[in-house]
Amino acid sequence: MFTGVQNTYWEWDVKEQVMFWTKETYRIHDIEEPDENTHCTAECISRSLQCYDTEDRSAIRAAFHLCFEKGEPFDLEIPFTPVIGRPIWVRIIGRPVFENNKLVKVIGNIMDITERRKAVDALQESEERFRLFMDNSPNIAWLKDEQGRYVYLSKTFKDRFGVQFDDFKGKTDEQLWSAATAEQFRKNDLAVLASNHAIEVIEETSNPDGSICYWLISKFPFHDMAGNRFVAGIGLDITNRKHADEELRNTKERLEAHISNSPLAIIEFDSSYRVTLWTGAAERMFGWKKNEIIGKPINEIRWRHEDYKKANIKICEAMLAGRIIRNKYANRMYRKDGSVIHCEWYISAIYDAQGQLASAFTQVFDVTNRDIAEEALRRSRDELELRVNERTAELRERAEQLARLSSELTLIELRERQRFSEFLHDELQQLLVGAKICQEMLISDMDDFLKPDAQHVLDLISHSIKGTRSLSTELSPPVLRTGDLTASLKWLAKWMYENQGFELKFKSEVLVSLHRKDFTVLLFQSIRELLLNVLKHAGVKSAELEMKHDNGELRIKVRDQGVGFNPETVWQNTDSNQKFGLISIRERLMHLGGRFEIENAPITGSSISLIVPLDEKKPVKNGMRTLNGKTSKKSITATACKHRFGGKTQLNLMIVDDHPIMRNGLSSILNTYPEIKIVAEAMDGEKAVHLARKIVPDVILMDVDMPNMDGLEATRIINSEFPHIRIIGLSMHESDDLATAMIEAGASAYCSKGGNIDHLLSTIWGEY
């Protein structure tokens, strides 16, 4: 657009205060040129300013003002929008002219600098892109001149090392780094300058904590437009990669060493099942050398045993199909010399991204000797197991025999006690009761002067009955025959208190009835022995008894606060009756599968536990009814409500007792009363049930202890079928427990055979 500097020339005459333009200056501002040698008017100048941006107009006026008034030159680069053509960049220059140090005029021109401006903008844009590129690069970068002075640092470099460019600008490595680090930097820089080619090296720097940082450095030479030489560098932190490479190398070396030293044969196949790895152990195991095997398909190696060919083919097919990642199997293989070895194979399959088999890595263990040894061991084990089973069966049989003998011993003792007790009860006591009944009948008909002597005889008979009853009870407590261990122990507590003044405190409200009679008897006798030991040796007259279920076992603990004893000396062989009793209890419990435990300390008392396997009926809470004398309140109420006999004047009565003397004695006495008719007699419970169904008497006198079926069971049956029949329990034992058991079975009352006949008659009529 501008044809030359002179074409856009302008001049300001300070003295005349006028402006002169060239024709081109008028043209580019779209102002009509005046007559020749006519100066530019103020209107032209004002119009020319319309070609500039508003903010640039102020700058132009200010620059002209300073130049015209003070003689300061100006040089402006601003956008210009001509009337014709496209917008451009122009450079407006103004220079003052002085004569004799006096400003006489200002001259200047307007030049088109669009292309230069584009070049500058492009350069600035390029430099900005370069800066952004370097600032955002994860790699550090720097420039040094030929003398090794830093002239540029990237942002990553500054951030990585925590420095500013001013810290490095114009300085060399010797001024910034340690001697060793600076030496390696400078050495590599000089190599680049000497060869005039790029190099790639690994350089090291130190971290603040003293650790080493490894850098992969690319260094290359270049020249600027002035011909100056520089060394540029780009660095990537490869510390982690370096450590990983080092670890990988160490791992590879260790793996190769392990493979080389492994007693296992390491064999690897490719996807075509060609052998790619064959270790020394494989050579020794199978006999083929490495050069005979590498690259050969496995089906060309004559090592497959015919018994396992199909299994081997299936495994290979499964690996090719991607169904096996790892596997273990055993087989037999042939060696090169034709001998057979037993092998265990551990296979690991590797697949590529497409799921195709890439490699199969196997470890083979020669287990020939192991299999032979295992077979021998298996035979020995079978023989040993057979002998052990035989000995175990023999020991078990002996243990069972011992347990049976122990149980039988307990039951024999029980039977002997019962036999003596029954003799006293069934023979001697019955005779004494019969004698007492006869004596009572005789006294009523005697002369008065004979009655005192007869009464003395009667008293002796009563004392004899009482003594034999007490001895019979001690030998075989009737409550023990029920199998109710809780009731038996409560009876024992009562007996100990009444006969020895010894108080036994229960800490359990659970009733326990064991199915095994030997357990019940043994526990009862053992606890009685323990209580007697406390009474004799502990120096106290009280103890606590606790029963509880514990993991399928019944645990009974007897604890006292007596003088105690040393448990370590209990089992020593001495003549102490106390120790003999404890030893006997322990051994008899052990023979029956139980245990005996002592928790004891001298002075503070002893605690002894008896533990037996729990084979019991379902425990129930204690629900015994309290007796009022020999008859419960419930039975009295039942008598008042049900047993008035409809106004009868004669009662039909049946006597049930297994002793003829007792039946005859009762029959003789009761037959003297016209109001009572003896309609039947029975010697056991079964006969009593049969006759009750047939005759249906009003009252039954029921003995408790009878053969075949006892009085308790017979009472339950008759009461369930004929609740209106009044049943009165009879026994030689004055026992609240037996009385309670009979009343719970359905009896209306309970009387002692040794009691007063008037009391029995009143009970028959329902007055008690």
Inform me whether the pLDDT recorded for 474 exceeds 80. Answer: no
User: What pLDDT, on the 0 to 100 scale, is given for residue 623?
Assistant: 30
**CA pair distance 123, 125, nearest whole angstrom:** 5
Q: Which amino acid is at 429?
A: Q
User: What pLDDT, on the 0 to 100 scale, is given for residue 630?
Assistant: 37
User: What pLDDT, on the 0 to 100 scale, is given for residue 309?
Assistant: 79
**CA pair distance 654, 663, nearest whole angstrom:** 10
**CA pair distance 174, 213, nearest whole angstrom:** 19
- What is the mean pLDDT of the segment spanning 493-508? 85
Mean pLDDT of the chain: 82
Degrees (nearest 5) of the Cα angle 143, 148, 149?
Answer: 70
Q: Where are the alpha helices (DSSP H) in 95-238?
A: 114-136, 155-161, 165-168, 173-176, 179-195
Inform me whether the pLDDT recorded for 137 exceeds 80. Answer: yes
**pLDDT tier at 85 (50, 70, 90 boundaries)?**
low
CA 714 to each of CA 422, 517, 694: distance values in angstroms, whole numbers, following the listed order = 20, 22, 15
Question: Which has more pLDDT, 194 or 499?
Answer: 194
- pTM attached to this predicted model: 0.36
**pLDDT tier at 179 (50, 70, 90 boundaries)?**
very high
Report yes or no: 589 and 595 within 8 Å, Cβ to Cβ: yes
**CA pair distance 317, 634, nearest whole angstrom:** 89
Report yes or no: 411 and 521 within 8 Å, Cβ to Cβ: yes
Closest CA to 641 of 764, 706, 724, 703: 724
Inform me whether the pLDDT recorded for 513 exceeds 70. Answer: no
**pLDDT tier at 570 (50, 70, 90 boundaries)?**
low
- What is the mean pLDDT of the segment spanning 300-317? 83
- What is the mean pLDDT of the segment spanning 381-390? 88
**pLDDT tier at 499 (50, 70, 90 boundaries)?**
confident
Q: Where are the alpha helices (DSSP H) in 545-612?
A: 577-591
- What is the mean pLDDT of the segment spanning 370-389? 89
User: What pLDDT, on the 0 to 100 scale, is given for residue 444?
Assistant: 76
**pLDDT tier at 4 (50, 70, 90 boundaries)?**
very low
Q: Which two tokens stand for residue 222?
A: 């270049």
- What is the mean pLDDT of the segment spanning 88-106? 90
Question: Which has more pLDDT, 467 or 652?
Answer: 652
The 275-278 sheet, strands edge to edge:
275-278, 265-270, 357-366, 340-351, 326-334
Q: Which two tokens stand for residue 11?
A: 């001049």
Question: Which has more pLDDT, 433 or 621?
Answer: 433
**CA pair distance 580, 35, nearest whole angstrom:** 159
User: What pLDDT, on the 0 to 100 scale, is given for residue 638?
Assistant: 33
Residue 632, number of CB atoms within 10 A of its CB: 22
User: What pLDDT, on the 0 to 100 scale, is given for residue 205?
Assistant: 92
Inform me whether the pLDDT recorded for 643 exceeds 70. Answer: no
Query: How many Cα atoms occupy the beta-carbon half-sphere of 355 within 13 Å?
Result: 5
Report yes or no: 152 and 142 within 8 Å, Cβ to Cβ: yes
Highest mean pLDDT among 100-109, 171-180, 610-619: 171-180
Of 403-412, 487-496, 517-526, the one with minimum mean pLDDT is: 403-412
Inform me whether the pLDDT recorded for 573 exceeds 60. Answer: no
Closest CA to 554 of 577, 533, 527: 527
Strand pairing of 749-752 and 102-112? unpaired
Closest CA to 198 of 172, 234, 225: 234
Inform me whether the pLDDT recorded for 247 exceeds 70. Answer: yes
Cβ neighbours of residue 66 under 8 Å, at least 6 residues apart? 72, 74
Report yes or no: 552 and 614 within 8 Å, Cβ to Cβ: yes
**CA pair distance 367, 142, nearest whole angstrom:** 65
Inform me whether the pLDDT recorded for 567 exceeds 80. Answer: no
**CA pair distance 12, 294, nearest whole angstrom:** 99
User: What pLDDT, on the 0 to 100 scale, is given for residue 487?
Assistant: 82
Degrees (nearest 5) of the Cα angle 278, 282, 283?
Answer: 95
CA–centroid distance for 121 within its chain:
73
For 716-735, what is each residue's pLDDT tens digit?
A: 999 999 999 999 999 877 67
In which residue are the tokens 């270049």 written? 222
For 408-459, what is each residue's pLDDT tens digit?
A: 666 676 667 667 766 776 677 777 887 888 877 788 778 888 888 888 888 8
Q: Which residues of 302-320 are buried (b: 16+ CB within 10 A; e: fewer)?
A: ebbbeebeeebeebbeebb
User: What pLDDT, on the 0 to 100 scale, is given for residue 713?
Assistant: 94
Inform me whether the pLDDT recorded for 382 exceeds 60. Answer: yes
User: What pLDDT, on the 0 to 100 scale, is given for residue 574?
Assistant: 47
What is the secondary structure of 154-194 as a DSSP string?
A: -HHHHHHHT--HHHHBT--HHHHS-HHHHHHHHHHHHHHHH
Question: Which has more pLDDT, 636 or 138?
Answer: 138
The 726-731 sheet, strands edge to edge:
676-682, 651-656, 699-703, 726-731, 749-752
Inform me whether the pLDDT recorded for 210 exceeds 80. Answer: yes
